[in-house]
Amino acid sequence: DAILCSDSAAVYAHFAKAEGITHRPVNPSQRRRVDGPFHIQNVNAYDSRLKSWMIRFHGVATKYLTHYLGWRRLLERYKTQLNPLICLREALGRAAMQQLTQT
């Protein structure tokens, strides 16, 4: 089961109805960003961080967008602990890498 929590744009309500998904609109224009456990702040905050990070690239080709999003996920997940070994493990699907050690 899924619940779509979005701003109150009509397109989300139509999409949710067409797909049979429960929709909980939150209307930020009325200073209502939270409705119990439902809110859109996480998505808005991520969108803001992603846009400010990607601006340095002056746009990316759509065919490479998944690569940039994966790179950004690594940066968000590991922050200052990101290193080449972690990148390699992630690229291999978090496979156990017992033969590799950090020196």
pLDDT band at 33 (very low <50, low <70, confident <90, very high): low
For residue range 53-92, list pLDDT tens digits in order.
Answer: 999 999 899 999 999 998 998 999 899 999 999 889 888 8
For the entire predicted model, the pTM comes to 0.61
Q: Which alpha helices (H) appear in the chain, and where do they start and end?
A: 10-19, 41-54, 65-78, 84-91
pLDDT at 98 over 90: no
34 and 45 both lie in a single domain:
no
Q: What is the pLDDT of residue 94?
A: 73
32 and 48 both lie in a single domain:
no
For residue range 37-58, list pLDDT tens digits in order.
Answer: 777 787 788 889 999 999 999 9
27 and 46 both lie in a single domain:
no
Q: What is the CA radius of gyration of the chain?
A: 19
22 and 51 both lie in a single domain:
no
17 and 52 both lie in a single domain:
no
Calpha distance 42→53 (Å, rounded): 16
Specify the number of domains making up the chain: 2
